[in-house]
């Protein structure tokens, strides 16, 4: 049951390829907080989440979305039924894209030169929703190193927070951080029992 995930991936790939070949479209769709602030171009909150910087950026986000999105679709379909599960999944993804850029907007709304793009906020929300449902399942870095989701998630949040404070590179760490936090909050709201499940799974976890 990964049809919605596939549709999101197809839209992202098509939008990215189109924007790469149309500089004026890239300029219009990219997240530029200054343009949002001065010209009320609010669509950039959404459109920027479907375009990417290059093939590697696109591949990494879509590869991650494919594996975790299909898992979340199954969880949501089981808990809420097919139609409502789809609505909740797509809703979480799109809202996460917007929410993850709010801090960026506040920080850079008076900086005409700042731009941001990519599905990282939405993808982070999907990944962390999956971690809430199955916190001890291993996530493999580079396909080699398996780390339990709740541990990797905690390290990721800490790393994103520290890098966001430093602002030493062009990566939008705020989008990663707030997208991930939104994924956790959204999951808890729609399925409160996930908290006790999460705690139980971690309590029973052992490396040996």
- List, for residues 89-107, the tens digit of each pLDDT value: 999 999 999 999 999 999 9
The CA-to-CA distance between both ends of the chain, in Å, stands at 33
Q: How far apart are CA 199 and CA 208, in angstroms?
A: 19
**Segment (H or E) for 190:** helix 173-190
152 vs 189 pLDDT, higher one: 189
Is residue 140 scored above 50 in pLDDT? yes
Which domains are assigned to the chain?
3-203 (1.20.1540.10)
Distance CA 138, CA 127 (A): 12
- Check: pTM over 0.75? Answer yes or no: yes
Q: Is the pLDDT of residue 166 over 70?
A: no
pLDDT at 143: 63
Give residue 1's pLDDT: 44
137 and 68 in contact (C-beta within 8 Å)?
no
State the Cα–Cα distance between residues 69 and 57, nearest whole angstrom.
17
For residues 144 and 5, which has the higher predicted lDDT (pLDDT)?
Answer: 5
pLDDT in the model for residue 161: 75
Q: What is the pLDDT of residues 119-136, one digit of tens each?
A: 999 999 999 999 999 998
pLDDT-derived band at 43 (thresholds 50, 70, 90) equals: very high
């Amino acid at each position: 049951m990964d049809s919605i995930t596939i549709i999101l991936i197809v839209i992202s790939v098509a939008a990215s390829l189109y924007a790469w070949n149309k500089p004026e479209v890239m300029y219009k769709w990219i997240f530029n907080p200054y343009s949002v602030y001065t010209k009320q171009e609010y669509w950039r909150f959404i459109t920027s989440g479907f375009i990417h910087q290059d093939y590697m950026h696109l591949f990494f986000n879509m590869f991650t979305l494919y594996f975790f999105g299909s898992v979340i679709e199954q969880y949501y379909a089981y808990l809420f039924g097919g139609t409502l599960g789809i609505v909740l999944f797509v809703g979480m993804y799109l809202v996460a894209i917007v929410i993850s850029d709010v801090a960026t907007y506040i920080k850079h709304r008076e900086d005409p030169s700042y731009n941001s793009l990519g599905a990282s906020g939405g993808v982070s929300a999907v990944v962390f929703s999956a971690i809430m449902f199955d916190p001890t399942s291993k996530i493999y870095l580079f396909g080699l190193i398996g780390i339990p989701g709740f541990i990797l998630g905690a390290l990721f949040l800490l790393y994103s927070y520290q890098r966001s404070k430093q602002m030493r590179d062009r990566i939008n760490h705020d989008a990663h951080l707030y997208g991930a936090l939104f994924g956790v909050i959204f999951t808890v709201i729609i399925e409160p029992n996930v908290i006790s499940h999460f705690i139980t799974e971690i309590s029973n976890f052992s490396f040996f």
